[in-house]
Amino acid sequence: MTAELISVGTEILMGNIVNTNAAYIAEQLVRLGISVYHQETVGDNPERLYETLECATNRADLVIVTGGLGPTQDDLTKETAAKVCGKGMHEDAKAKQMLIDYFDQLGRGWETITDNNWKQVIVPDDSTVFYNYNGTAPGMVIPAENGSKIILLPGPPGELVPMWETSVVPYLSNLNNKVFYSKTVKIDSMGESGVETAILDLIETQTNPTIAPYAKPGEVHLRVIAQADTFAEGEALVMPVVEELKRRFGNCVFTTEEEVTMEEAFVDLLHKYRLTFSTAESCTGGLLAGRLINVAGVSDCYNEGFITYANEAKMKYLGVSAETLEEHGAVSAECAKEMAEGLINATGADVAIVTAGLAGPGGGTATKKPGLVFIGCCVKGHTTVMRYQLTGNREKVRNGAVVRAIAQTRHCILEQFA
């Protein structure tokens, strides 16, 4: 079975927003064993949308369209798709009641019901409606005359994702027979080309499963995918390769599960060894804690942290000495060490993670260039400070420091406990 993704919206075409939906849906389709060869973006232009939909229904079994279902005048996806499939339209009673309830529940809501909202509850004849429990526009499947199916989904990710999980996955599972089994070996502390060089022999001989490498900031993922008749058969093909990758990359592997993020793997490790942690951030200024606290259940191991952006704050809360700041500066291994050890004293946590760096763009000196970051971690009394010279703009340096702080601390914990 093949699918084609069409993202509708002048805001995507003109680059006002980033198309996260295409990534989400594509990844989901891979897991369901549905092949995607084309992704397209068109604006809120009925003629070009009509052409694109017509072409897509002629070459793919499923045409998955996101966006353009909303209340505003330029939202024309549903009307255009109905025309491509030769369908009339009618009001859906349940969708209408849900729209009323939605606004009721908003409390002091940011929206009030304006007239243009009502067009969202009109659906094409013969369509299967996917009700929206997180927004106002329902999704739907419209059958095309040639047997292809157009699936329309709302653009906002907070609506799309729950609708996908609760409505689209059950719908697609009924249509499809093949199984893809995959695991993703996620690696920190190494670059993409280093990782690939270490597994060139495996990549060159791959057939089923295949190994696909890709890099994220501070991480390299190796996705191992096999096609099979059953999940058990897929698993038997994939798992020996996963074991070989774990053997080659050792402690750098932080998970083999697709859905586990670096921060989740970190919090899992702290739970495993019953450790608490705290953070004190200078250049990352809250991003490190912000990322780690996104893990549900982190409250078992995290109580408090500091953003010690100014030197005074480093002295006041972490006991960094004025001499250290005077002699070595705030962006120094010495300062990072005192921050980490001071953070343990201040909070009583088992593990401390601190960042001190020059995020830029200004502030550089002859010996300290923007992108220079010292990361300190203290694990049960053992302090490790490492120096990183990161590249890129302020945001990239700060996010890069977050990833490296998590990786460095994870390695230090493993060295002491595993």
Within positions 345 to 364, which residues make up the interface with its own copies, using CB under 8 A? Answer: 359-362
Is 134 a binding residue for its own copies by CB under 8 A? The answer is yes
Minimum distance, C-beta of residue 22 to its own copies, in the bound complex (Å): 7
Among 235-243, 265-273, 307-315, 331-339, the segment contacting its own copies (CB under 8 A): 307-315
Q: Which is nearer to its own copies, 20 or 345 (CB)?
A: 20
* Of the candidate residues 50, 246, 396, 414, the single one contacting its own copies (CB under 8 A): 396
Identify whether the C-beta of residue 221 lies closer than 8 Å to the C-beta of residue 180.
no
Is 105 a binding residue for its own copies by CB under 8 A? The answer is yes
Is 307 a binding residue for its own copies by CB under 8 A? The answer is yes
* Of the candidate residues 145, 312, 327, 415, the single one contacting its own copies (CB under 8 A): 312
Among 84-92, 110-118, 266-274, 319-327, the segment contacting its own copies (CB under 8 A): 110-118
C-alpha to C-alpha distance for 224 and 231, rounded to whole angstroms: 14
Contacts (Cβ under 8 Å, ≥6 apart) of 81: 53, 65, 124, 142, 150, 152
Q: Which is nearer to its own copies, 246 or 396 (CB)?
A: 396
Among 143-151, 190-198, 227-235, 376-384, the segment contacting its own copies (CB under 8 A): 190-198
C-alpha to C-alpha distance for 56 and 118, rounded to whole angstroms: 29
Minimum distance, C-beta of residue 223 to its own copies, in the bound complex (Å): 7
C-alpha to C-alpha distance for 259 and 97, rounded to whole angstroms: 35
Site map 24..63 versus its own copies, x via CB under 8 A = xxxxxxx-----xxxxxxxx----x---------------
Site map 61..100 versus its own copies, x via CB under 8 A = ---------xxxxx--------------------------
Minimum distance, C-beta of residue 110 to its own copies, in the bound complex (Å): 4
Size of the site for its own copies (CB under 8 A): 111
Going by the DSSP 8-state scheme, the letter that residue 389 receives in this structure is E
Residue for token pair 């400070």? 385
Minimum distance, C-beta of residue 208 to its own copies, in the bound complex (Å): 16
C-alpha to C-alpha distance for 340 and 336, rounded to whole angstroms: 6
Is 12 a binding residue for its own copies by CB under 8 A? The answer is yes
Among 78-86, 298-306, 321-329, 375-383, the segment contacting its own copies (CB under 8 A): 298-306
Is 393 a binding residue for its own copies by CB under 8 A? The answer is yes
Is 232 a binding residue for its own copies by CB under 8 A? The answer is no
Minimum distance, C-beta of residue 145 to its own copies, in the bound complex (Å): 26
SS3 66: strand
Q: Which is nearer to its own copies, 41 or 251 (CB)?
A: 41
Q: What are phi and psi of 61, to 5 degrees?
A: -75, -35
Q: Cis link prior to 213 (omega < 30° from 0)? A: no
C-alpha to C-alpha distance for 94 and 89, rounded to whole angstroms: 15
C-alpha to C-alpha distance for 48 and 36, rounded to whole angstroms: 21
Identify whether the C-beta of residue 318 lies closer than 8 Å to the C-beta of residue 308.
yes
| 349-379: b (≥16 Cβ within 10 Å) or e | bbbbbbbbbbbbeeeeeeeeebbbbbbbbbb
